[in-house]
């Protein structure tokens, strides 16, 4: 319920100020890029992945009003498995 309320509030804010959506997304992508670079440097994330790729992978999960907790947990495991580098 909290997620649905948050999504509704965000949509209303973005409708009132479309630039806010762009700025917010850019900030999230920049933060994600920093985390991803560190993870890649530590060898725990594939080097051929960028923040845009990860945003595409998790974007629908973040915006879905119908995603259940069990489904989110399964999907997150799949995403994390896919981000790991191939076994040496």
Q: What pTM was estimated for this model as a whole? A: 0.73
Write down the pLDDT at residue 78: 92
pLDDT of residue 5: 80
Task: Read off the tokens for 53.
Answer: 């790729």
List the domain boundaries for the chain.
Answer: 2-83
38-81 tens-digit pLDDT? 999 999 999 999 999 999 988 888 778 788 889 989 999 999 99
Burial of 29: CB neighbours in 10 Å, binned 0-12, 13-18, 19+:
middle
Q: How many CA atoms lie within 13 A of 8 on its CB side?
A: 5
Q: Give Cβ neighbours of residue 75 (< 8 Å, ≥ 6 apart).
A: 61, 67
Say what the pLDDT of residue 1 is: 57
In the prediction, which pLDDT does 40 show? 96
State residue 2's pLDDT score.
65
């Amino acid at each position: 319920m909290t997620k649905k309320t948050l999504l509704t509030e965000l949509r209303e804010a973005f409708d009132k100020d479309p630039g806010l959506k762009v700025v917010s997304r850019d900030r999230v992508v920049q933060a994600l890029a920093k985390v991803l670079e560190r993870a890649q440097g530590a060898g725990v994330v594939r080097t051929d992945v960028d923040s845009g790729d990860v945003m595409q992978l998790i974007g629908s999960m973040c915006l879905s009003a119908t995603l259940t907790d069990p489904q989110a947990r399964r999907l997150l495991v799949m995403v994390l498995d896919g981000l790991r580098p191939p076994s040496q």
